[in-house]
Structure 1
Amino acid sequence: MLRSYLRSLVSGPVAVQLRRYTVVGTTTAGVQMLLLWLFVDVTALNYLVGATVAIEITIVMTYVLNNAWTFASIQNTGRRNYLVGLLKTNLVRGTAIPIQLGVLYALVDWQGIQYLIANAVAILLSGVYRYVLDVKWTWGRT
């Protein structure tokens, strides 16, 4: 059973979905990093406030891209389903915000790590959590 599951991560529909999710996540993580840099270094916003705003902006962007490409075969269509999916992903990713901000704060304030590097680590650590909940709840598939 474990062997077949691991094989499905390398080839098959789950592998394709996971690769697409990773591409979307990497792209939106880059956007989030750029936004965070703009908010902190250009507008002098506190890094935690800037991260919160950048996260919310990329939550919407991530949903749009994942719904259109990653989960194209099971995408949320129609106005109501699309908005319900957006609400669900906001709840999923919203619950990951404290995880991401907590890691960011701990790495910056307790460990002295530069905020952009700390944010990249926080994105990675909260990424698995977001993927599992998005797959199971936002798009209702395993």
Structure 2
Amino acid sequence: MVRQFLRNLVGGPAAAQLQRFVAVGTTAAGLQMLLLWLFVDYVGWNYLVGATVAIETTIIFQYVLNNAWTFQANRNTGLSAYLYGLLKTNLVRGSAIPIQLGVLFALVEWVSVQYLLANAVAIGISGIYRYVLDTKWTWGGDVL
């Protein structure tokens, strides 16, 4: 599956869409890491609370960018469709929050990985899951 994902990233039929999804996701991951760092190191929140708020913030950020750019052919237009798409992506990405938080917790508490590095790993692990569900359900397109 990973090999096919990487192959399609550079030359498959949905390469442009996948590249845009990865670009948006990478930007959002950077934003999420920055927010997490601010919430934990400057606000003083527990890393799991900070991660939850950072994740939800980037869910909204990614929806706006993905709807406008990544999935422009299947874009949700009109207020009703736009809000319904936002709800759907929140359900998809919200369902990935326990995966991401679980990996984050396990790496920090059981393996003693620094929380920002652990969060980066957790983002990567939940990324393919989010792509497949968002592509199929939120924007109703083909996965690859």
Q: Is the TM-score greater than 0.5?
A: yes
Residue ranges of structure 1 left out of the alignment (5+ in a row): none
Q: Which residue of 2 aligns with 1:119?
A: 119
Distance 1:43 1:135, change over 3 A: same
| Alpha-carbon distance between aligned partners in 1 of 2:21 and 2:46, rounded to the nearest angstrom | 30
Distance 1:46 1:60, change over 3 A: same
Q: Which residue of 1 aligns with 2:48?
A: 48
Match of 2:112, SS?
Answer: coil
Alignment of 1:27-66 (within 5 A): 27-66=27-66
**Identity percentage of aligned residues:** 71
CA offsets per residue over residues 23-77 of structure 1, 9 Å max, x none? 0000000000000000000011000000000000000000000000001111000
Residue ranges of structure 2 left out of the alignment (5+ in a row): none
Superposition deviation, residue 9 in structure 1: 4.6
Paired residue total: 139
Alignment of 1:90-101 (within 5 A): 90-101=90-101
Q: Which residue of 1 aligns with 2:78?
A: 78
Tell me which amino acid in the other structure corresponds to 2:33: M
So what's the TM-score if we normalise by structure 1? 0.93
Structure with higher RCO (Cα < 8 A, 6+ apart): 2
Match of 1:141, SS?
Answer: coil
Distance 1:8 1:39, change over 3 A: closer
Alignment of 1:20-31 (within 5 A): 20-31=20-31
RMSD: 1.7
| Alpha-carbon distance between aligned partners in 2 of 1:49 and 1:140, rounded to the nearest angstrom | 32
Tell me which amino acid in the other structure corresponds to 2:58: T
So what's the TM-score if we normalise by structure 2? 0.92
Tell me which amino acid in the other structure corresponds to 1:83: L
Structure 1 stretches of at least 4 aligned residues deviating more than 3 Å after TM superposition: 5-10
Superposition deviation, residue 11 in structure 1: 2.8
| Alpha-carbon distance between aligned partners in 2 of 1:118 and 1:9, rounded to the nearest angstrom | 25
